[in-house]
A and B are shown apart, each in its own frame.
Chain A
Amino acid sequence: MSVFAQGVTYDGVAVGDTLPAVSSKPISRTTLALFAGASGDHNPIHIDIDFAKAAGMPDVFAHGMLGMAYLGHLLTAWVPQRAVREFSTRFVAITQVHAIVTCTGRVVEKREGNLVALEIEAADQHGEVKLAGKALVQLP
């Protein structure tokens, strides 16, 4: 089963088009532990509540790169990964444990060279934006 939308082309997209949204499962403490191991980001602030509290935070919170991985899913569910030329994000707010992250995106510009610029974001179940990003894809 492929979740790729088939056949996204430069001529077939228009400014204002939206990408099919992608939602995560609720982010549990287990999610953070597994992501720490798999991503190599072992900063204890994401997995060790004692460390987080000592650093002045009320609880552990999600790795920024977990949210960015979800944003990546949004892109590669829409076009094959090799179409993606640039991908960036600002981490605008901390993503708390138990958040359900929904990633959305829209076409903001069509450029020469079959390049399409996107604005993308990840928000939690309350609609609070956690990551605000951009991507540049090159379409057939």
Chain B
Amino acid sequence: MIDRSFIGRSFPPLHVDVEAGQLRAFARATGQRDPVYWDEEAAQAAGYRALPAPLTFLFTLDQEREDRFYFINAMGIELGHVLHGEQAFSYAAPICAGDTVTLTCTCLDIYDKKGGAMEFVILKTQAVNQLGEDLGTMTSTIVVRDPK
């Protein structure tokens, strides 16, 4: 059983640079066909100051930690039992190559279903850039299954 005292706690903020090469690698790996996401000129023609981060990229930025399984390890969760249940994003200012983004992740809730056979962890991450502009949020629902 995951320690419920994590509810309401925030993890140390992460400061991460958004790199053009990383955005291009993501575009390639996802079969992105729109040059706005890999060609600087196309991005600028579309009104971006540099390559834009795609809609789900906050999730990737959050992996740029020394321990990318930070909350899983902190909460003592077995990695092989983790499933991604839900993911939500809300958007404010765009994220572009060259930005430095600060991510702050807070555990909103932990609960269980089926008599403890499945536990749910809700994490909400707030993002701002180097100018202090709000970049929006992402909310992850992590499901921990008991294989027994």
Contact = CB atoms under 8 A, between A and B. Distances in A.
Nearest to A51: B80
B94 interface: yes
A87 B137 CA distance: 11
A72 interface: yes
A24 to B, nearest CB: 6
A53 B79 CA distance: 13
Contact of A90 (B52, B79, B81, B86): B86
Given A55-B81, A88-B86, A1 B68 contact: no
Contact of A87 (B26, B64, B80, B89): B89
Nearest to A66: B30
Given A77-B34, A89-B87, A39 B82 contact: no
Contacts of A25: 31
5 contacts: A38-B25, A40-B61, A41-B68, A64-B87, A65-B60
Contact of B85 (A52, A86, A90): A90
Contacts of B147: 55-56
Contacts of A82: 47, 94
Interface of A: 1-4, 24-25, 31, 34-35, 37-45, 51-52, 54-56, 63-66, 68-70, 72-73, 75-77, 80-82, 84-91
Q: Which of B42, B54, B86 has its CB near the most chain A CB atoms (within 10 A)?
A: B86
A40 B52 CA distance: 18
A23 B30 CA distance: 11
A56 B46 CA distance: 46
Given A43-B79, A65-B84, A85-B90, A38 B35 contact: no
A64 B56 contact: no
Nearest first, the 7 A-B pairs at minimum CB distance are A40-B63, A55-B80, A88-B88, A38-B29, A64-B84, A72-B55, A34-B29
B91 interface: yes
Nearest to A52: B80
Nearest to A55: B80
A39 B88 contact: no
A57 B83 CA distance: 12
